[in-house]
Structure 1
Amino acid sequence: MVASAFTVDLDKPLVFQVGHLEEQYQEWVHQPIVCKEGPRFFENDILEFLTRTKWWAVPLIWLPIVCWCLSTSIKMGNTITDVAMMIGFGIFLWTLIEYVLHRFLFHIKTKSYWGNTAHYLLHGCHHKHPMDGLRLVFPPAAAAILCFPFWNMIKLFSTPSTTPGLFGGGLLGYVIYDCTHYYLHHGQPSSDPAKYLKKYHLNHHFRIQTKGFGITSTLWDHVFGTLPSTKTVDKSI
């Protein structure tokens, strides 16, 4: 006898359900539900609270740290011009990290119970519920965890006085990324480049999820050959 396919109950907390989809998960998670109210993730209220983040929490929490990093590099002997160059390089570095994370981690193929569960928490929920405004930006705790490997990576090729400046530039790139991502879903840009980026990102959600991994720019999609066609989006939100 063939076992019947598992069906997710959208009226119940989703996180510990999606793993049961096994091989069906990839198809299910890329069939978006366009609704401004997001689903419940956990039965536990504390865990549920930790999954929801207002967009303005990103600049509120991280911009003071950016300023501290940049001022630290200045105090350690770097000029304003030096730090400006660090900011530019840090933002450039972030655009590559943004692309690599989105393409190779956020879109990793999973089929095991815990693989599906982890993927749904990391990025799958965003594709299933793309208009969930409280789960569009990284929760601060998750972003803080990612800061440690980013800092250590920068230390590998920089000096003690330039590490804070480069890190601050990369962190500023992250803030720009998360705020841009929120705006592309909930803003209504009337002119380019924001208008083009919105269409570009909606292509990724609603037409071809295997291309268009850039959020703040299309640079690395050009470089690595993942640029989608210019065909207009069939669905809009």
Structure 2
Amino acid sequence: MKSQSIFQIMRNQELRSGRSYDLGKMNLKELWVAYLTHGTILLYFSLILACIVGIYYTFTGWMPVLASTIVMILGFPLIWYIIHRWIMHATFLYQIKWTASLWKRIHFDHHQDPHLLNVLFGSPLNTIPTIIIVGGGIGLAVGGVPGAFAAIGTAIYMACFYEFFHCIQHLGYKPKSHYVLRIKQLHIMHHFHFEKGNYGITNYFWDRVFGTFYTDAKSRPRSPTVFNIGYDIKEAERYPWVMLKTGSPPRDRPEGSNFREQKKSSTHQEQKAA
């Protein structure tokens, strides 16, 4: 395929929309365009700017702002770990009719088809209220109103940062950076080998603390629920709301999945990086 310039890629209306694109078939240039023109990311950038304006109009000194920013930078990986492990991978959400659609959108769809861009990003209807409540609450406690704006803006920036590297981890692209290659390998194993571990995205410190970190496929048996995160046919019969919303039974692997190739590639990259 002939290499395209960034301007040629930007003229691709379907790609610019960031919808229904398979990251496994995209290159890095295409990802940058899809990411920077995606409505969710543009909304996040706008909210970061709004938080900067909020800091300006409520400014009482640099200490509350800096303290809240630092606390959020340090705390974000733990917040992400808690949400990812105990909410996104929890079973109680699909067992309740009123939260089944929420669980489907925030994580089930992503595990059913890990490379699909339009379900990789969290829905702003879910992420923004969470960031405002959690991040704003922490910032308010640390630095008052300007601290709340600083913490919210920092949390949104961290979410953007996480989402970009999350895309990289599902991109059909081998990173040149050893660090990025390694976190890509760890996340691929979360999706294609054993989902009850490696909950981090760019930081696996809390996985190590809570004993959910593993470095290679030999460390854990392959999970039969790695693609449906526990919502199998039997569970769908008991709690049908996600299945009814999807319009089809849960799959035990993505449609058109190249699981064997993913696993082989991941193993090869691990051996080369070792």
Specify which structure has the higher proportion of helix.
Answer: 2
Q: CA deviation at 1:222?
A: 1.5
Equivalent pairs, count:
186
Aligned to 2:111: 127
Instruction: Rate the CA distance shift 1:208–1:149 in 2: closer, same or farther, 3 A.
Output: same
The amino acid of 2:60's aligned partner reads: G
Q: 1:144 aligns with which of 128, 131, 142?
A: 128
Q: Distance in 2 between matches of 1:118 and 1:141?
A: 10
The amino acid of 2:145's aligned partner reads: P
Gaps of 5+ in 1: 1-34, 38-53
- Whether the aligned pair in 1 keeps the contact of 2:137 and 2:148 (CA below 8 Å) is no
Aligned to 1:68: 50
Q: CA deviation at 1:174?
A: 1.2
Q: Distance in 2 between matches of 1:195 and 1:93?
A: 24
Q: Distance in 2 between matches of 1:152 and 1:165?
A: 8
Show the 5 A alignment for 1:179-194: 179-186=164-171, 188=173, 189-194=175-180
Secondary structure of the equivalent of 2:146?
Answer: coil
Q: Distance in 1 between matches of 2:149 and 2:101?
A: 35
Q: 2:160 aligns with which of 164, 175, 196?
A: 175
Identical counterparts, % of pairs: 22
Gaps of 5+ in 2: 1-20, 24-33, 219-261, 267-274
More divergent stretch after superposition (157-166 vs 217-226): 157-166
TM-score by length of 2: 0.59
- Whether the aligned pair in 1 keeps the contact of 2:22 and 2:115 (CA below 8 Å) is yes
Q: Distance in 2 between matches of 1:139 and 1:106?
A: 13
Instruction: Rate the CA distance shift 1:195–1:163 in 2: closer, same or farther, 3 A.
Output: same
Q: Distance in 2 between matches of 1:85 and 1:157?
A: 7
Q: CA deviation at 1:78?
A: 2.3
The amino acid of 2:40's aligned partner reads: V
Q: Distance in 1 between matches of 2:61 and 2:264?
A: 50
- Whether the aligned pair in 2 keeps the contact of 1:212 and 1:218 (CA below 8 Å) is yes
Q: 2:81 aligns with which of 99, 103, 107?
A: 99
Aligned to 1:14: none
1:12-31 CA-to-partner distances (Å, cap 9, x unmatched) read: xxxxxxxxxxxxxxxxxxxx
Q: CA deviation at 1:156?
A: 4.0
The amino acid of 1:99's aligned partner reads: Y
More divergent stretch after superposition (180-189 vs 154-163): 154-163
- Whether the aligned pair in 1 keeps the contact of 2:67 and 2:142 (CA below 8 Å) is no
Check if 1:234 corresponds to 2:263: yes
Instruction: Rate the CA distance shift 1:152–1:73 in 2: closer, same or farther, 3 A.
Output: closer
Q: Distance in 2 between matches of 1:117 and 1:69?
A: 30
**Considering only aligned residues, what root-mean-square deviation do their CA atoms show, in Å?**
2.8
The amino acid of 1:160's aligned partner reads: V
Aligned to 1:201: 187
| Structure having greater relative contact order (Cα 8 Å, sep ≥ 6) | 1
Q: Distance in 1 between matches of 2:109 and 2:136?
A: 29
1:96-147 CA-to-partner distances (Å, cap 9, x unmatched) read: 1111110000101256473655432221111111111211111333323323
Q: CA deviation at 1:151?
A: 4.6
Show the 5 A alignment for 1:21-170: 36=22, 55-56=35-36, 57-75=39-57, 76-79=59-62, 83-110=65-92, 112=95, 114=97, 117-154=101-138, 155-170=140-155
